[in-house]
Amino acid sequence: MKKKDTKTRILDTAERLFAQKGFDAVSLRNIIASAKVNLAAVHYHFGSKQALLHAVVARRLRPINEERLAGLAEARAKAGKRAVKLERVLECLFLPLFRVQANPKVGPTFSRLIGRVLFDRNANLQKFMMSELAEVIPQFSAALDASLPGLAKEETDWRSHFMAGAMAHTLCNADLLAKFTGTQFEPSDYETTVRRLIDFTAAGFRAKASPPTRPRKKK
């Protein structure tokens, strides 16, 4: 078996430790001890712990986002002058993410890592994530708006927010399904999971918008 190069070994080790313990709980000392490298190697390849964290996240997310954008571009080309169907937009957004989760080599660690990324309140990490999604968010927002011409922009934004929550929960907390209901979740059958998630979120996007609630008058 081919021996991993130093940079890959550091990335793999940092990813595993960050996913297991969280970003703040892992020090560079923990990483170099587990990876069996010296501190100089970390500084040479990454410069700092924060830069290493960004490299760990980007290594997984950038290929996913590239696949998302490529899928959406293909769907738009096929649709021509028509808007891409809502279900196809959602498929382009969900499928690359859950395909990685289904990979037995990286899936379990990937799910925990994404959970840390999504729910950590580290301002630096959040800023980095926004830069990683700088092209994805506007492209998919525009596609969702086009697929739902009768829905107000504010409603589309709120429903996109709820959609993101459902996607994150399904990705990061799939084990709770079996614990609470007895229904089993199989990461390898990711296409069925994606289809269920698409059906659920598409119905939410198409639901009739309720009239705005008037604020209660103060007595």
Q: For the stretch 47-79, what's the b/e string if a residue is b when 16 or more beta carbons lie within 10 angstroms of its beta carbon?
A: eebeebbbbbbeebbeebbebbbebbeebbeee
* Per-residue pLDDT tens digits for 71-121: 999 999 999 999 999 999 999 999 999 999 899 888 889 888 888 888 877
**How far, in Å, are 36, 145, 187, 196 from residue 152 at the CA level?**
55, 9, 35, 25
Quote the distance between the C-alpha of residue 18 and its chain's center.
16
**Would you state the pLDDT for residue 76?**
98
Residue 216 has pLDDT above 80, yes or no: no
Residue 67 has pLDDT above 70, yes or no: yes
* Cβ atoms 106, 56 nearer than 8 A: no
Residue 1 has pLDDT above 60, yes or no: no
**Would you state the pLDDT for residue 132?**
92
* Cβ atoms 132, 57 nearer than 8 A: yes
* Cβ atoms 195, 134 nearer than 8 A: no
How does the average pLDDT of the chain come out, rounded?
Answer: 91
* Per-residue pLDDT tens digits for 161-205: 999 999 999 988 888 888 889 888 888 899 999 999 999 999 999
